[in-house]
Amino acid sequence: MTEQRFRVWFGADAASEDQLRRIEEIEVTQEMDAFWEARLRMVLCLDARGAWLHWPGETQEPFSRIRIELDIGDGRFTPLIDGPLVSIDAALDSQPGRSTATLVVRDDSAFLNRDEEAEAPFEHRKASEIASELFGRFAQIAETRLDATEASPETTTRRGTVLQFLRELATANDRHAYVLPGDEPGASIGCFLAAPTDAADLPPLVMIGDGRNLANASITQDPDGGERTHAQVLRLDDQGVTTFATSAADLGLMRNLPALPADLTPRRMLPPAEATGEDPTAAATARARRSGYVFHLASQVIPGCYAAVLNPYRKVRLDAGATPYSGDYLITRVVHRITPSLYTQELEAKADSVSEVSGAAVAEALGGGLQLSVSASVGIF
What would the pLDDT profile of 289-344 be if each residue is shown by its tens digit?
999 999 999 999 999 999 999 999 999 999 999 999 999 999 999 999 999 889 99
What would the pLDDT profile of 181-225 be if each residue is shown by its tens digit? 999 999 999 999 999 989 889 999 999 998 999 999 999 999 999
pLDDT number for residue 239 = 73
Residue 379 has pLDDT above 50, yes or no: no
Q: Of 88-92, 111-115, 279-283, which one has max mean pLDDT?
A: 111-115
> pLDDT above 90 covers what percent of the chain?
70
- Between residues 3 and 182, the one the model is more confident about: 182
What string of H, E and C letters represents the secondary structure of the chain?
CCCCEEEEEECCEECCHHHHHCEEEEEEEEECCCCCEEEEEEEEEECCCCCEECCHHHCCCCCCEEEEEEECCCCCCEEEEEEEEEEEEEECCCCCCCEEEEEEEECHHHHHHCCCEEEEEEECCCHHHHHHHHHCCCCCEEEEEECCCCCCCCEEEEEECHHHHHHHHHHHCCCEEEEECCCCCCCEEEEEECCCCCCCCCCCEECCCCCCCEEEEEEEECCCCCCEEEEEEECCCCCCEEEEEEEHHHHCCCCCEECCCHHHCCEEECCHHHCCCCCCHHHHHHHHHHHHCCEEEEEEECCCCCCCCCCCCCEEEEECCCCCCCEEEEEEEEEEEECCCCEEEEEEEEECEECCCCHHHHHHHCCCCCCCCCCCCCCCC
- Average pLDDT along the chain: 89
pLDDT number for residue 241 = 85
Q: For domain 111-193, give the CATH superfamily.
A: Baseplate protein-like domains (3.55.50.10)
Domain ranges of the chain: 5-106, 111-193, 205-221+295-365, 228-292
What would the pLDDT profile of 223-240 be if each residue is shown by its tens digit? 999 999 999 887 777 778
